[in-house]
Structure 1
């Protein structure tokens, strides 16, 4: 089958780009191995530091481009938290802003040629989602005690339906980290796989490659939007979950 594909000019393996590889040595990957995922997460952290620390160090009245971008994102997330979780939620601004900027930068770095998209892996997004889930649950019980369980009791529903709805609400609550993580990883992975498929067609069709190239351009433009939108969606869902912990009776 592989020989036949090579003979026809089609040799497309869209999922190869998501393979985690050790950068030093060819042995099995251990928890301490330095991989391509580790490298690009490091690049993401470096880019965030350059933008938010180095780019804003002058704190000019007339801001530079990097300071303008940093201030715009700061204000955007600040307003999002205040609108969704209220002023009380602003205490958690540093954590939520860190989530947003890390996901956003990682998504955009993943659009560079030959790069590795860390947010395409469930192992990364699941850890981010589980951190949110655990933090929100602990905060909910710490702030409200057993009243936090009122989140699952739909008092506005008929009494006979409340136990059934409570079970449904409980299941949906524990499914949150699953949907939270899969939504991000799935959307990022799907777009990159589609680009790789079109790129394979473009390489195989020779002079007839114009249509796949146009498709790559269109999908790439869509992926730029997805990179920003998915960071926004992950962050606003975090704010919604935070609001549930702060105000479980709402």
Structure 2
């Protein structure tokens, strides 16, 4: 095997996911170890960048409320209408009052995904710690909302009354397990898809430095980048629509 030091060729696709101090001189200090909770990292910077972009789009971009909207206002209105209809269709009329919560989640996930496609940026939603936190917020919100609205009647969703009586206890156990697995699947789906796509893109970008396969690699990187752009939007949509499905359990009817 040819030594990497001789060829100068090495691919480290997972390095892009390392959490580092943002204000750190790598030549004189280790930027990746013993990071304190109050220190600014690449994660916090790009999460803050997503918040800034959301504010710029939805607050400053639409503050004029012009009858003939600007391009930015049109984008904001399109996203607003799309998510509102999603919440109404999936969660029902009672779920519409929680539209601001769902809208905020969608915008944060969407722009975190999209900002991660900028060269030299950091994809915050590729980290399970971030996506688990988001999914955990959804899980707690839906559970507490269901208990607040329905009391112990919320537990009726685990009892499938339409099934034969002997099967109901078994189905109830399955329903309980599937309910508590929700935040796991909700979070891993998002982080896993983004991490896998970015890792593959980094691998092909590394091959692009080799003269023999450079044209093929560049074409592959371009195609994968386009695919990742689609994945960024689709995964934000999937995360949001699952949130609406879970919200329906809290505001809708239980199994019959």
Secondary structure of the residue aligned to 1:206 is coil
Displacement of 1:50 in angstroms is: 0.8
Mapped contact 1:150–1:248 kept (Cα < 8 A)? no
- Normalising by structure 2, we get a TM-score of 0.94
Secondary structure of the residue aligned to 2:211 is helix
Aligned twin of 2:218: 213
Which 5+ residue runs of structure 2 have no aligned equivalent?
25-30
Displacement of 1:24 in angstroms is: 3.2
Query: Could you tell me which of 15, 37, 49 is aligned with 2:55?
Result: 49
Query: Could you tell me which of 224, 232, 237 is aligned with 2:229?
Result: 224
Secondary structure of the residue aligned to 2:197 is helix
Q: Distance in 2 between matches of 1:10 and 1:106?
A: 31
Aligned twin of 1:162: 168
Aligned twin of 2:155: 149
Q: Distance in 1 between matches of 2:146 and 2:205?
A: 48
Aligned twin of 1:65: 71
| Structure whose residues are more often helix by fraction | 1
Displacement of 1:28 in angstroms is: 1.6
Secondary structure of the residue aligned to 1:44 is helix
Mapped contact 1:148–1:248 kept (Cα < 8 A)? no
| Cα distance, 1:171–1:248 mapped onto 2, change above 3 Å | farther
Aligned twin of 1:116: 122
Mapped contact 2:207–2:213 kept (Cα < 8 A)? no
Q: Runs in 1 of length 4+ with deviation above 6 angstroms? A: none
Aligned twin of 1:104: 110
Displacement of 1:237 in angstroms is: 0.3
Residue 79 in structure 1 maps to residue 78 in structure 2 = no
Which 5+ residue runs of structure 1 have no aligned equivalent?
none
Aligned twin of 1:18: 17
What count of residue pairs does the alignment treat as equivalent?
248
Aligned twin of 1:35: 41
Query: Could you tell me which of 223, 231, 239 is aligned with 2:244?
Result: 239
**1:89-100 pair list within 5 angstroms:** 89-100=95-106
